[in-house]
With several copies, the nearest count.
Chain A
């Protein structure tokens, strides 16, 4: 079977040991003819060292303002198969768990109604089906929906929430990341499908401060599991680790607050000074476990650089008892989120992420706006400059 387009440059990327995306595009093209033109267009970019996609153009399904990213080639004549080449964002399962049955069905849809290509997964977390044409978008969507999969977020809306593997397969999880991710996604379907925010808003859930879903570096609201009480110590297992490696050097000396010490052979932790960094637990999972009073911290405002510079998540709520709140259908959390969205709606400007708003109006004003008190956990240190705005309530 002859190739539609010669791709000498891309062919170079079939060499080497790492599995090749070029090979994948080719395999997709075997099933979905239009993707031959994708190969051609990408080869063209490789030659010209420039993208050949046009900016903008609409794509979508009825009643939804999100879920499809429109994409059109600059060269519709040359590459008619990608005249339209939209991506459909299909909301993944919590923790990315699947079975072969469902995955094959999704592959079917990708091959039958799109370019046979997928991103598993998009950077936000969605299953992305690439190469969708507008005319078949609705059908592809409904086929996904029949499998129980709705579309994900896009545009100025709540983006598809995502979480780490958590309690499903990780002993470190301090709360049920998968469940709350699912529950919140369900609770905010309207906010996901019908963009009406100033800009995007992302939620991610990590079961502990290892933050395996990188929540605090890329979601407006990051949920990081933690505990309030003492680390549980199995002294026998500590002794086993001591036989295996230099626990003093690699664990105790690296504790950020140096709150651990050996009393004889026994490990002692000053838990009041532990910052729940996970390091000791990571190094000695058999010997140490987080406490019983589990919950999560909420960090606010992480985002990419544009416009005012990159941000990491800032400590907003040191301890949220998610288990308790889930019994009331997350009343407290939903209240907090809706306070934030209202404040953002009222005071934010277009294309201003919530972290940027907080920065612009000032943390204290923001806290007042959403109904939280300033507490020392929020700061690295109190102010170092003397420009204090005393208010009259102080007299």
Chain B
């Protein structure tokens, strides 16, 4: 009997109860925090109503990590904070200390191991990103590589607090936007630019034709026959290269070495602080893929950060700054070109136009 119980397959148990991993001071003061103070970009303290304190040391992470990385963290946590740590919603690592005196030694140890301490306050936060060439079949660009190149360049903004407000950058390797870039201060997104190829040999085997047709946002796919076999055809005039058909139908590959690349978007926001959440808006429609270090993408992001840093008032998120100075000036200041691609032409396009005489000269 016990033998059998032991062997019983475990299913539907859900995640481990988080209570088991809360440090004692958190358990004690759960829901009773009074306020926090940011000590520097690498650390902050939360003070409980009863005066108890928890210190957080934050460290950057590439998110795609090895078991050895995990063990490094564990070692540090054991050494400085009873083994307790957490990850943030943007994939940073947070060590949870009850002893203030451990902050500096921990930071030093982390830096010795080659890790980056920072990311708190008015900084460029860790870039939320996706799989890219490391794991996804849909990607128009690599993810981790672009993120690494950009973060190398923006490193100073992760470790020093010198921006007007938080800057959230996100990366997605295709329009599926797994990196949820849609509302980021700066979004970097992989773009295809060629109509999918249709493998009429395989399509009937691999795909359901009606759902493939339904997948297209621009109604560009129509049923067709080729050599007596059912297939589809695409209207080149209206296809917007979104790859939605490929997502549901493997026989319609869209990736293309020569034509894939990256677009840059600006001015999204998630929080409800002051102004309502809003989507990021297109600023650079296309930069060809240029691995391993995507210099033009890096330069574009740097240009935006620099312009923002110089132009925004304290406390202004990127979108608040741009709305104050206007998009015309944003393009002028950054030197980015405004093209026909910037004018929305999708479903709700007309709601994005300027219905007023308000302009800046």
A214 to B180, CA, bound (A): 9
Binary interface profile of B, 273-289, with partner A (CB < 8 Å = 1, else 0)? 11101111111011001
Q: Is B272 an interface residue (CB 8 A)?
A: yes
Interface residue? A336 (CB, 8 A): no
The total number of A-B Cβ pairs within 8 Å is: 538
* Distance A382 CA – B346 CA, assembled complex (angstroms): 12
Q: A318 with B193: in contact, given A25-B66, A381-B267 (CB under 8 Å)? A: no
Q: Is B350 an interface residue (CB 8 A)?
A: yes
Query: B353, A378: Cβ atoms under 8 Å?
Result: yes
Chain B residues positioned under 8 Å from A384 (CB to CB): 182, 265, 278-282, 344, 352
A42 touches B134 (CB 8 A): yes
Q: Does B65 contact A (CB under 8 A)?
A: yes
Contact across chains for A277 and B358 when beta carbons are under 8 A apart: yes
Contacts of B134 in A (CB 8 A): 21, 25, 38, 42
| Also in contact, A18 and B116, with CB within 8 A (given A165-B86, A277-B358) | yes
Query: Can you list the 7 inter-chain pairs with the closest CB atoms, starting with the nearest?
Result: A16-B152, A100-B74, A55-B250, A107-B67, A384-B279, A209-B272, A45-B133
| Cα(A45)–Cα(B142), bound, Å | 8
Across-interface contacts of A385 in B (CB, < 8 A):
279, 344, 346-347
Q: Which residues of A contact B292 (CB under 8 A)?
A: 9-10, 12-13, 46
Q: Which residues of A contact B145 (CB under 8 A)?
A: 10, 13, 21, 46
Complex CA gap A96/B250 in Å reads 35
The docked-state distance in angstroms from the alpha carbon of A279 to that of B273 is: 5
A residues 186-209 in Cβ contact with B at 8 Å: 186, 189-190, 193, 209
* A31 and B68 contact, CB distance less than 8 A: yes
Is A339 an interface residue when CB atoms closer than 8 A count as contact? no
Asked if A275 meets B68 with Cβ closer than 8 Å, knowing A51-B133, A63-B11, A299-B357, the reply is: no
Given contacts A17-B116, A120-B91, A182-B18, contact A273 B325 (CB under 8 A): yes
A119-B64, A120-B63 known; 7 new pairs, CB 8 Å cut-off, are: A21-B134, A27-B68, A49-B257, A256-B358, A275-B272, A275-B359, A388-B285
Closest chain A CB from B44 CB (angstroms): 10
Nearest CB to that of A111 among chain B residues? B67
Smallest CB gap from B48: residue in A: A171
Residues of B within 8 A of A88 (CB): none
Cβ-defined partner of B70 (8 Å) among A118, A226, A278, A299? A118
Minimum C-beta distance from A213 to chain B (A): 5
For residues 130 through 181 of chain A, which have their beta carbon under 8 Å from a beta carbon of chain B?
Answer: 130, 142, 145-150, 162, 164-165, 167-171, 173, 176, 178
Known: A275-B360, A388-B341. A380 touches B354 (CB 8 A): yes
Does residue A354 face the partner (Cβ distance < 8 Å to B)?
Answer: no
A377/B354 in contact, CB under 8 A: yes
Within 8 A of A (CB), among B171-217: 175-180, 182-183, 189, 191, 193, 206, 211, 214-217
- B306 contacts A by Cβ under 8 Å: no
A52 surroundings in chain B (CB, below 8 A) = 133
Residues of A within 8 A of B20 (CB): 99, 148
Contact A362 B349 (CB under 8 A): yes
- Do A21 and B267 have beta carbons less than 8 Å apart? no
Assess the A216–B356 pair: CB atoms within 8 A.
yes
Whole-angstrom distance between the Cβ of A183 and the nearest chain B Cβ: 9
Known: A168-B22, A285-B35. A186 touches B14 (CB 8 A): yes
Some 7 contacts from A to B, beta carbons below 8 A apart, are: A24-B64, A46-B145, A53-B135, A55-B250, A257-B325, A312-B183, A374-B342
Complex CA distance for A310 and B356, rounded to whole angstroms: 15
B180 and A99: CB pair below 8 A? no
A185 to chain B minimum Cβ distance, whole angstroms, is: 5
Q: How far is the CB of A271 from chain B (nearest CB, A)?
A: 8
Q: Is the CB of A277 within 8 A of B272?
A: yes
Question: How far apart are the CA atoms of A107 and B73 in the complex, in Å?
Answer: 11
- Docked CA distance A108–B66 (Å): 11
- What CA separation (Å) do A133 and B217 show in the bound complex? 35
What is the CA–CA distance of A295 and B313 in the complex, to the nearest angstrom? 32
B87 near A376 with CB under 8 A, answer no
Assess A382 versus B281: contact at CB under 8 Å? Given A28-B66, A93-B16. Answer: yes
